[in-house]
Structure 1
Amino acid sequence: MPHSGAFDPALLKKLPKSYLEEDLGHRLIIFASVFLVLQTLLITLFYIGRYLNKTLNGLECWLFMPIGYIFSTAVCILGFFIVKRGGAGRHVEAVLLSDPGMISTRAKIDKAVEYIYILAITGSKLAILCLYLRIFRSRSYRLATYSVAALVGLNWLAGFLLSCTICQPCTFQWDKSIPGGHCGEIMQAYLYISVPNILTDILMLILPLPAIYRLHIDLTAKIGLFATFLMGSSGLIASILRLVTFVHAGNLFKDPTYRCIPTYTYTIAESGTHLIAASMPTLRPLKRHLFPQHSFTKFLDSVLIRISGKESASYSFSWLKQTGAQSSDKKSTGFEEHELRSASTTKLNDVSCLGNADQQSQAPSSKRSQEFV
């Protein structure tokens, strides 16, 4: 590949025409468009579902989800601008020949993305953690959730301060002609912020798993619960892929306008996937309104029955209705009945009490039960 450091116009014009005309920008535009539509659709369904179940309340509805959506949308829109105004997708030599000013424009857009991206994923993650707080009754689980939320907030603060201070003055990041200006290792800074970001994704993934594992419920119900909470960390893959692009920053610097496409694609995917993940669990009520006869866990149960060749691949705990007064002797799981019904199968309607050992055994209020059912 021709070296991007040769900026002599006479030399650049000697490059192969096919090389100068190569453009991957359309891929980013298509990808950003798809996520823009998905995000808008899912958050609309999120609010419709909450409205139908009269649970349109809480910080996740009026603060964190709007933050996640607004800034995830901004990341997608900047994806259009970085292609049209920043030359993303074309080789740097072709950009220098057509409009050298695009190089600084792309750097300005990159700077804007630094601030917007971290806000997008922070809002969506905090919305997911609010869901955890709604269903975790155990004090230890709630403290763990608050701790993860604090880490998410600190990661945002660190990212914000790092973006503000990585270059002095800030404008030196796109204007290298400023006398006395300097920048730190920008790619190293991206790496340092990405690692705790991935760590919080992992913590959000494993946080509910021990409680689910200890539940005395049927296999399909457990799988349904696992699947529900796995949605909350589905952005982990995009986070890791984005981190890999920073590890190979040397290749990125060789041709920044051309090689930035994967990095920006993963940035859109990460912010958008976190928002979609925050929307998905509360769509179950809407699904039951529209498709009351369809259930993932019923389908899964039928598959397990065929595989095992048994009458039933699970077992019921309806006897808990008669032994609700003794449920305080059970091992605490941090879940109540409405928590299970909201995240799993209709078989869990037979469960009357799976609350904390330190709480009185009682049926949950219908209002809270409806939130995720």
Structure 2
Amino acid sequence: MEVGPRNAVDLWANESRGLAISISGLVIATLSVILRFVARMKNGCNFGADDWMIVPSLLCYYAFSITAIWGATKGGLGIDFALLPPPQAIATGKGSYIMPIFSVPTISFAKLSIICLYHRVFATRRFRMWNLIVGASVVAWMIACLFATILHCIPPRALWDPSIKGKCINFTLFFQFIEPINCFQDIVIALMPLGVVKRLHLNRKQKVSLCLIFILGGLVAVISLIRIVIISNPAASPVEIYTSSEWLTAQLWMAILCANLLTYRSLVQNALPSRLRSWWTGSIPVSGPYEMWTKCRGNNRGKNTSEDEMLDPLHFKG
């Protein structure tokens, strides 16, 4: 069956938009990771687990984006599956199967990068204990989602070949279960440092600025909520489902970007306008207990720290 004129127009429009979003996301994610490592090298800081965790996130995002571009050009994403000719239907089914396999580790490793950064930055034992618990939940979520995604259909070929009878889970219901957990994790990770910041001996402006920097990481949760609303709509059209895939692309590169933002302090000192620069860098004092913000030394791991020493400035400095 050939795609009708209206559907063909929709396909062309979705293909062009999907390509633009995918390519833009690749550029943003790649530049954000490069800037992270540039910031580290600029200050002579050693790379840590938080830096290396972002690498598999970026690589998985590359695989996801390549699959998305292939699906947009060879398949029929955004068109009713029943209206697609066999070659496009097969490409669409394969793309729909492969993309989640890479999207799950992309967002999970980005979260783990932030969690590892927290572990190096915040020296209180209680915070680190909760940080490890959240990290374990992220790993558990990633493993569970990968197993469910890979075993979505048994055999997997049944997903794109109607001639094969297989057993498939209701992926919409599965998404409605796992995505709220993903969203909740994003919110928790963004809010976790606020309690520590509140107890620091800083003035109100410095506390607000520092809290806003951490909360930027929660922007990913907003996109997650949008996807939940779209997918949960039982009357969602194929085009609306495709829009959810576009939001997923944005969610992934946003997760990578947010994981890198906290390492940019040394770069923004010279790149931003003076007023914005003072807001970003001024949130971290560089005197007294915080003198190490301008130096590259070891961290506070294992110490009994006071409230003024709850931050390890080395790793925020980038």
TM-score band, normalised by shorter chain: 0.7 to 0.9
Which has the bigger relative contact order, CA under 8 A and spacing at least 6?
2
Q: 2:266 aligned to 280, 285, 307, which one?
A: 285
Q: 1:264 aligned to 239, 245, 256, which one?
A: 245
- Contact 1:295–1:345 (8 Å) recurs in 2: no
Aligned to 2:75: 86
SS of aligned partner of 2:286: helix
Q: 1:237 aligned to 190, 202, 222, which one?
A: 222
- Contact 1:281–1:372 (8 Å) recurs in 2: yes
Could you report, residue by residue, the CA deviation over 1:242-272 in whole angstroms, capped at 9, with x for unpaired residues?
Answer: 12222014424xxx3x333211111111111
Normalising by structure 2, report the TM-score. Answer: 0.86
Q: Which amino acid aligns with 1:21?
A: V
Aligned to 1:172: 158
Structure 1 residues 130-145: aligned runs within 5 Å: 130-145=116-131
| Sequence identity percentage | 21
Aligned to 2:110: 124
Whichever structure has more helix as a proportion of its residues is 2
Which 5+ residue runs of structure 2 have no aligned equivalent?
292-299
Q: 1:102 aligned to 56, 69, 88, which one?
A: 88
Q: 2:168 aligned to 149, 160, 183, which one?
A: 183
**CA distance, structure 1, for counterparts of residue 87 and residue 286 of structure 2:** 63
Structure 1 residues 143-158: aligned runs within 5 Å: 143-158=129-144
Give the total of aligned pairs. 304
Aligned to 1:213: 198
Could you report, residue by residue, the CA deviation over 1:215-250 in whole angstroms, capped at 9, with x for unpaired residues?
Answer: 231122112211221122221111111122220144
Could you report, residue by residue, the CA deviation over 1:173-201 in whole angstroms, capped at 9, with x for unpaired residues?
Answer: 2223224x221211111222212111111
Give the Å deviation of 1:89.
Answer: 3.9
Q: State yes or no: 1:198 paired with 2:183.
A: yes
Aligned to 1:359: 304
Aligned to 1:32: 22
Give the Å deviation of 1:85.
Answer: 1.1
The RMSD of aligned alpha carbons is 2.8
Normalising by structure 1, report the TM-score. Answer: 0.74
Give the Å deviation of 1:168.
Answer: 1.7
Q: 2:99 aligned to 100, 113, 117, which one?
A: 113
**CA distance, structure 2, for counterparts of residue 362 and residue 185 of structure 1:** 49
Could you report, residue by residue, the CA deviation over 1:82-106 in whole angstroms, capped at 9, with x for unpaired residues?
Answer: 111111244557x53xx33211211
Aligned to 1:247: 232
Q: State yes or no: 1:74 paired with 2:76.
A: no
**CA distance, structure 2, for counterparts of residue 67 and residue 104 of structure 1:** 28
Structure 1 residues 57-68: aligned runs within 5 Å: 57-62=47-52, 64-68=53-57
